[in-house]
């Protein structure tokens, strides 16, 4: 089945609010059957987001050394509170998952989660990285390295996954990540002492996704 599913790897860091608008606009186009959607790969400027199960007491201390507090967005996605920022890969698969041969939300989410874990194992060398459906995310033993949260309308999601490549890990100490007290957070750099760029990691994950969605093609939209 030939689809009109695209991907875009952004070179520039993107503001969260701007990308939220891009996602919503893309979903509207998919629901209007103008195309089958786009998978976005990017890096955000620093921001906190609060999902539908997020609570005020999940924030511990948002003060920063420079006296500025990052923006906080309350959004309609699964999950609690998380942080996004430099050194973290964001993946937003805003696509009609039925057109991509997924039979259910569960199959769609698990495939993307498994693809990220395969990339972390085979490309980054983190042999213990595993996608866990029951405690959603990719884990390395008891340490969480990748996160997930979606909002679906019919067969089209917004939001998605984040993968810690080399972020400033101190930001996760300002919140209770994923609403799990004492949750240990890790990164590719912490586990391997190696650094991978957003582009390198995106391209590797994309190569795995293409096993399921072989006709996906690059979107040439200009960055703004």
Mean pLDDT across 70-89: 86
Least confident range from 48-57, 77-86, 125-134, 163-172: namely: 48-57
Cα–Cα distance for residue pair 145/167, rounded to 1 Å: 11
Of 47, 44, 38, the C-alpha closest to 12 is 44
Cα–Cα distance for residue pair 97/104, rounded to 1 Å: 8
Say which residue, 50 or 207, is predicted with more confidence.
Answer: 207
178 is catalytic: yes
Contacts of 3 (CB under 8 A, 6+ apart): 36, 96, 99, 100, 213, 215, 216
Catalytic annotation, pick one of 178, 185, 206, 213: 178
* For the chain, percent of residues with pLDDT exceeding 70: 90
Say which residue, 2 or 108, is predicted with more confidence.
Answer: 108
The pLDDT value recorded for residue 51 is 76
Helix axes 105-122, 198-209, angle to 10 degrees: 130
Instruction: Give whole-number Cα distances, 1 to 4, 71, 96, 98, 218, in Å.
Output: 10, 42, 13, 11, 18
Kindly tell me if the per-residue pLDDT of 183 is higher than 90: no
Confidence band of 54 (pLDDT split at 50, 70, 90): low
The second-level CATH assignment, the architecture, of 6-218 is 2-Layer Sandwich (3.30)
Contacts of 54 (CB under 8 A, 6+ apart): 74, 79, 80, 81, 179
Cα–Cα distance for residue pair 131/137, rounded to 1 Å: 6
Cα–Cα distance for residue pair 133/98, rounded to 1 Å: 20
Confidence band of 63 (pLDDT split at 50, 70, 90): low
Confidence band of 3 (pLDDT split at 50, 70, 90): confident
Contact 43, 86 (CB under 8 A): yes
pLDDT, the chain, mean:
90
Mean pLDDT across 151-158: 95
Of 22, 7, 36, the C-alpha closest to 216 is 7
pTM of the model: 0.93
The residue ranges of every structural domain in the chain are 6-218
Of 149, 157, 139, the C-alpha closest to 83 is 149
């Amino acid at each position: 089945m030939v689809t009109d599913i695209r991907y875009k790897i952004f070179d520039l860091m993107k503001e969260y609010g701007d990308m939220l608008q891009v996602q919503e606009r893309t979903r509207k186009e998919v629901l209007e059957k103008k195309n089958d959607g786009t998978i976005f790969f990017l890096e955000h400027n620093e921001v906190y987001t609060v999902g539908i199960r997020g609570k005020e007491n999940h924030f511990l201390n948002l003060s920063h050394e420079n006296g500025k507090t990052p923006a906080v967005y309350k959004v309609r996605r699964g999950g609690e509170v998380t942080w996004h920022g430099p050194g973290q890969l964001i993946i937003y698969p805003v696509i009609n998952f039925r057109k991509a041969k997924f039979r259910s939300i569960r199959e769609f989410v698990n495939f993307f989660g498994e693809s990220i874990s395969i990339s972390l194992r085979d490309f980054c060398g983190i042999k213990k990285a595993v996608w866990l459906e029951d405690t959603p995310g990719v884990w390395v033993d008891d340490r969480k390295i990748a996160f997930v949260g979606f909002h679906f309308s019919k067969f089209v999601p917004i939001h998605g996954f984040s993968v810690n490549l080399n972020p400033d890990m101190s930001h996760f100490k300002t919140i209770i990540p994923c609403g799990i007290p004492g949750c240990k957070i890790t990164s590719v750099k912490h586990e391997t002492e190696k650094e991978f760029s957003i582009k390198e990691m995106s391209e590797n994950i994309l190569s795995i996704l293409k096993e399921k969605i072989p006709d996906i093609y690059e979107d040439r939209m200009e960055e703004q």
